[in-house]
Structure 1
Amino acid sequence: MKMFSIDGPIYKFMSALTNMFLLNICWLVGTIIGLGTTIGVSTVAAFDIGLKLAENKEGYVVKQFIQAYKKNLKQGFPLGLIALVASYTVYLDFEIFNKVPNATIFLLMWGFLSGAIFFSCLVYAFPLSARYTNSLRNTIKNSFRISIRYFGRTVLLALVIAILVLSFMWNWTLILIGILIGPAAIILTVSMFAMPIFRRIERQNTEDGLETYSDRDEEQ
């Protein structure tokens, strides 16, 4: 039956689920190795694979992850630390608002504003770092520019991520599923949003004769 063949929907679904599980395990191991400090390296390496999966370019997930992990140590490490500090800053702002009596509403507004800014600067930074060779500063700057330029799509992405996170926290069964595939599911979601944007920017730069980025895949 075609349904159970290699090109059938069941095989494709199981293959995608397996890749997601393997990618999640790789991400967890890569993060735990550095006691959490290598979360940036692990995330960039995961996006290296996620962007390929978003274009149906399948391969050996574990082997590709190890190669990408080694390749992105220099860029991923500081990017991860920046993301951790930014996340903790926003969390601390909301904690102060909740714990301090008579806290001003401006503190809450600042928490949402800073969270939106940090999200814009970082949401595309990891896939950008995985796909292109650029400085850390320019990578973060380009992430913010893409977020502004594709504002509607970025807002939709934020909503989808929020729904995924809340879903994985709904009950203990979903929490377990979230541990098994949660981070990889978010990485693949961002990859599916980011890849069409990257392709469009690449086409526009080619038409305009610009060399804004250096594609790592083309370098190899």
Structure 2
Amino acid sequence: MRLFSVDGKLYKFMSTLWDILKLNFLWLVFSLPIVTIGASTVAAYSVTLKMVDNHEGNIMSDFYESFKKNLKQGIILGLITIFLAYCAYINIEVFNKAKDNPIIFLISGIFISYIGLVHITYAFPLLARYENTIKGTLLNSRKITYKYFFRTILLWIVVALLIGFFNFNVPLIFIGLIIGPSTVFYGASAISKKIFRNIENDNISSWT
């Protein structure tokens, strides 16, 4: 039956699922020092961007090569992301726990979250696909966010739904540990890749 053939949909689904499992394991292992989580995320995106483009490759070697290549910039980008997330968290926590609930902390938390999302959303896949400085990558992420704002909202919704799904109950949390992060990277790559293609096809010369 064609369903079970090498070209069948079931085979392709199982093959993709196996690749996602392997990629998730690599991402977790290489993220263990915490400080390398940014470089590990860039490496994961380098793999998922190829996966959504149906480019066959070796998951382990592709991941490791990208990890080595982008180690320094990935670490910096990861630390920037963690810092912004922590600042937003602290402000919102102060608002929630303070007796008089000072609104300035809520506004500050929301503002930092928005600024972080705008600059970080495409930063990791951009760094995985193109050579650039950290500043240039962050600025390009912001440009893409505003130029393709409705697609970016779709990306945020997809990521939020995936995170919410894998945190719905204990069994799904367990499944999320096995395939959650790489599934998020894969979903984000599917949307990002289309945007990158449009930019490349339009040959926009204004990118940093």
TM-score (norm 2): 0.96
Identity in percent: 43
Amino acid at match of 1:135: T
CA deviations on 1:74-114 (whole Å, 9 max, x unpaired) are: 21110011011111111111111111111133422332222
Q: RMSD of the TM alignment (CA)? A: 1.3
- Counterpart CA distance in 1 for 2:107 and 2:179 is 33
The one-character-per-residue Cα deviations of 1:58-82 (angstroms, maximum 9, x if unpaired) are 2110111111111111211100110
Aligned to 2:94, what secondary structure does the other structure show? helix
Q: What pairs with 1:2-81 in structure 2 (closer than 5 Å)?
A: 2-32=2-32, 35-81=33-79
- Structure 2 runs not aligned, ≥5 long: none
Instruction: Note if contact 2:140-2:207 (Cα within 8 Å) is conserved in structure 1.
Output: no
- 1:91 matched to 2:121: no
Moved more, 10-19 or 97-106: 97-106
Matched residue type, 2:44: A
Secondary structure at 1:133 match in 2: coil
How far is 1:212 from its partner? 4.5
CA-to-aligned-CA distance 1:142-163 (integer Å, 9 cap, x gap): 0011001111111111111111
The number of aligned residues is 208
- Structure 1 residue ranges without an equivalent (≥5): 214-220
Number of the residue aligned with 1:146? 144
Aligned to 2:130: 132
The correspondence of residues 102-113 of structure 1 with structure 2, limited to 5 A, is 102-113=100-111
Decide which moves more: 43-52 or 159-168: 159-168
Provide Cα deviations, 1:32-56, integer angstroms capped at 9, x if missing partner: 1xx2000010000101111111111
Give the direction of change, closer, same or farther, for the CA distance of 1:172–1:61 in structure 2 (3 Å limit): same
TM-score (norm 1): 0.91
